[in-house]
A and B are shown apart, each in its own frame.
Chain A
Amino acid sequence: MSVQLDDQGRLRHFLTTEGLDPRLLTRILDTAESFAGVIGKSVKKVPLLRGRTVINLFFESSTRTRTTFELAAKRLSADVLNVAVDTTTTKGESLLDMLRNLQAMQADMFVIRHNQSGAAEYFARHVDPGVAVLNAGDGWHAHPTQAMLDAFTIRRHKGPFEQLRIAIVGDIRHSRVARSQIHAFNGLGAGEVRVIAPNTLLPSDVDTLGVQVYNDLSAGLRDVDVVIALRLQHERMQGALLPGESEYFRHYGLTESRLASAHLEAIVMHPGPINRGVEIDSALADGPRSVILDQVTNGIAVRMAVMTMVLGVQADTAREVS
C-alpha cells in the first residue's frame, strides 16, 4: 500500500505491515522499546502529542484494541475522542461524509476499525494532507499494530528473528491478525513462518504469502520457538467450516502435551480475547510458557511508537522526557 509512505519512505499512515522495509519495521520496535520505559514509570505520560486530537473511529465493537489505542494516545498527552459507529453505516458516501465532518473538528489522527477489508486505506486516501490514519483492523485484511506488538513481544522473549520458527494456528482464512503477522515476521527476517489449520480455515494460495502450510498440529509445531493461537469466532461453526468446537479443540486446540514437539523454550501467544477450551486450554494460557498478558502491555508501547512516527514526532525525545 504505497499510500502509507511519504516520498521519503516514512510512515504517513499505518495500514498494513505488507511490503514495509525491514529497517522501518525494526524502527517501530526500537521506538516502542523507548516507550516501554515510559510505561514502567509512576508518571506514565509524555507530552509528545500535546494539543493533538486523536479520534478512535470504531465501526466494529472492540474493547481491548480501542482501550489500548486510547491509553497510548493519552500517555502521549493527546486529546482523544471515541466514536462508535453503527455498523449499518456502510455506504461509501456516508463514510466519506462522516470522515469530512470529523475532520472538520481538526482531528490529527484517525484510528479506524471496520469490518470491510480496505476500509483503512479508503480513509487514508480521503483524509486531508497531514492527517494520519492508523488501521486498527479492517475486515480480513490487516491489523498491523497487533502484528507489531506480537513481533515486539517475540523479540523481547526470543531475541533476533533470523533463527526463529513461528507457527500460527487456527482460522487463517478470516484473520487480519494472521495476515499482518505473516508479513511482519517475514519482513523482520524470521527463519520460518508456518500456518496450521484445517483446509476450510486456510485461504486459497496461502503459501504465496510466504508460509509453510500444515494441516497436522504436531507436525506443524515441530521445533517451533513461538506458537500463536488465533481466536476462533463462534459464527465459523454456522458456515459449514467446522463441525464443532469440541472437534476443533481435539485437533487444533493448544495444550501442554500437544506442544511436546515444539522447542522446549517455546512461548505461547494469543491476540485475545481467548476462547478457553477451544483454541487453548487454561493450564497453558495461564502457565509459564504464556506471554499473552505481555502482549497486552506491549500493545500500548507499540501503539505509542506508531502514533509518534506517523505524526512525525521524534520519539527520541521520549527517552529525554522519561
Chain B
Amino acid sequence: MSRILIVNGRLIDPASGFDETGDVAVADGRIVRLGGQIEDFTPDQRIDASGQWVIPGLIDLSARLREPGATRKADITSESRAAAAAGITTLVMPPDTAPVMDTPSVVELVTHRADAAGAARVVPLGALTQKLAGEQLSGMAGLAAAGCPALSDGNRPIRDSLVLRRALEYASTFSLPCLLTPVDSSLAQGCLNEGPTATRLGLPGIPAAAETAGLGRQLAVAGATQARVHFGRLSSADGARLLTTALGENRKLTADVAIHHLFLTDQDAMEYDTRFHLEPPLRDIIDREALRQAVADRVIRIICSDHQPHDQDAKDGPFASTAPGASGLDTLLALVLRLVEEEVLPLHRALATVTLEPARLLGLEGGRLDEGAAADLVVVDPVDPWFCSEERLRSRGLNSPFLGWEFSARATHTLVAGRLVHQPDGP
C-alpha cells in the first residue's frame, strides 16, 4: 500500500460541508489526515494539487459494462479504466447482463474481473427476480452475501403487481434497497418522446404517461411494503411532479436522473441522429427544466451517467432499428460541474448527487472526504478545457451524445482505496 500526500488542494467534502485549501494524507487505503499543512507524514508519492480541487470519487449509480454477455461492445476492464480516468471510483452495475446477475456465481465473476482490472470499483446489483422475468424471486440473501448492496429490476419492470409486492417485501427482510424502472412497458412502444419532433420524423412516440403510469403503480405497491425503493432514470416533468407528491408521504423513496436528461431534448434527434436514441427517451425543454428543478429541490437526489456503451453497428441504421443508450462515463464529471456553471446547483450539492447520495442509498463506504474514510478520491482541474471527441473518449463506447461539446473540468488523478489508478500520462 503506497503512502500518498496530496498537497495544497481545495478540499471539498459535500457530506460535511468542509471546504478549505490544504493537504490530504493517504495510507493503507484510507484517508489518515485531512486539512491544513501536513508536514509529519512521509509519502511514497506527492501530488501537487495547487489550483485544483480534491473531491470524493464519483459513484455512478447506473453503468452497464457489457460483461458478461456483450464484450464486443465493452468489458469490465475497459470501462472501469475509463471510469477511473473520468474521476469515477465506483461503478454500480445493473443486473441485466447475459447471464443475468441472479446468482452469486455471476456476481462473483463480475467482482473477480473488476478486481483484476484494478481500476474503479464495480458494485453489482442483484436481480429482483430470476432471469429478470418478473415471476420468481431471486435468492436475494445469497446475492447480498456475494456482494450486492441492493437489488434491481434491470430496466425490465415487473409487470405483475403481486410479484412486485412480494419482491419488495422479501427484499425489505434483508434491508436491501430496490431499484425500479418506472415505466409501463405497454405504453412505451416507441423510440422517441411523443411530441412534435416524433410526429415530424414519423417515429413512434413514448408519452410521459408511460413513466407516470409505471411510477404510479410502483408507488402504490411500494406503499404497501416496508421496502426502501429507488426509482431510476426519471425523464419527465409529470414523473417529477408525481414523485414530489409521493415524497410527502414516504420519505424512504429516492430517485435519480441520467445526466443527459438534464442537458438534451428530443429536438436533438431532429436529424435522426442515433446518438440521441435513448431509453427513457429525451423529452422536451419543459421536462428538462422540471428535472433540473427537481434535482435542485432534492426531489431527485442522485445523478448518474446511465452509461450504455455500444459498438458502431448497434447505432448504425435507421433510428428506430438502432439500440438505445448513450456512452456516459467520460462526460459525467464535466457535465455535473457544468450544472454548477449554469447555476442549476451549488457546487457542494452538485457533487453530493454523484458521491454522498448514491453512497447513502447503497450503504457504500465512499462518497465522502474524511479522516478514516476509504481513500476513493479525485483531483480535479476545474479549468482545463477539453473538447469531447471520439479520440478523447476512454470508454469503448463511442456513442456519446456530447461529441463536439467543450468542457472545462477534468480529473487529473484518481485514487481508489488509496491506490493511484489514474494520473496524467499514466494508467
Contact = CB atoms under 8 A, between A and B. Distances in A.
Contacts of B204: 140
Interface in A83-115: 90-93, 95-96, 114
B205 interface: yes
B317 A1 contact: no
A204 B318 contact: no
A165 interface: no
A203 B313 contact: no
Contacts of A2: 271
B200 interface: yes
A209 B194 CA distance: 14
B161 interface: no
B231 interface: no
Contacts of B207: 204
Contacts of A96: 316
Given A1-B271, A92-B313, A93-B313, A117 B318 contact: yes
A42 interface: no
A57 B318 CA distance: 15
Interface stretch (B319-327, B346-354, B363-371, B415-423): B319-327
Contacts of A3: 271
A208 B196 contact: yes
Contacts of A176: 202
Contacts of B321: 90-92, 116
A117 B199 contact: no
Interface string B199-216: 111111101000000000
A204 B195 contact: yes
Nearest to A120: B318
B204 to A, nearest CB: 8
A277 interface: no
Interface string A130-142: 0000000011111
B262 interface: no
Nearest to A92: B317
A205 B318 contact: no
Contact of A139 (B195, B205, B318): B318
Contacts of A245: none
B203 A140 contact: yes
A27 to B, nearest CB: 24
A70 interface: no
Contact of A118 (B194, B201, B205, B315): B201
B196 A205 contact: yes
Nearest to A126: B316
Contacts of B259: none
Given A91-B317, A116-B320, A204-B195, A140 B202 contact: yes
A117 B201 CA distance: 7
B199 A209 contact: yes
Given A91-B321, A116-B321, A118-B319, A205 B313 contact: no
B199 to A, nearest CB: 4
Of the listed residues B201, B202, B321, the one surrounded by the most CB atoms of chain A closer than 10 A to its CB is: B202
Interface in A186-213: 203-206, 208-209
A204 B194 contact: yes
A101 B200 CA distance: 32
A93 B316 contact: yes
Contacts of A95: 317-318
A116 B194 contact: no
B164 to A, nearest CB: 25
B263 interface: no
B318 A208 contact: no
A139 B199 contact: no
Interface in B139-198: 194-196, 198
Interface string A153-176: 000000000000000000000001
Contacts of A54: none
Interface of B: 194-196, 198-205, 207, 271-272, 313, 315-322
Interface of A: 1-3, 18, 90-93, 95-96, 114, 116-119, 121-122, 138-142, 176, 179, 203-206, 208-209
Shortest beta-carbon contacts, A-B, top 10 = A92-B317, A141-B202, A140-B202, A116-B318, A92-B316, A118-B272, A117-B202, A208-B196, A203-B199, A119-B318
30 contacts: A1-B271, A2-B271, A3-B271, A18-B200, A90-B321, A91-B313, A91-B317, A92-B313, A92-B315, A92-B321, A92-B322, A93-B313, A95-B318, A116-B318, A116-B319, A116-B320, A116-B321, A117-B202, A117-B203, A117-B272, A117-B318, A118-B201, A118-B203, A139-B318, A140-B202, A140-B204, A179-B200, A203-B205, A205-B199, A208-B200
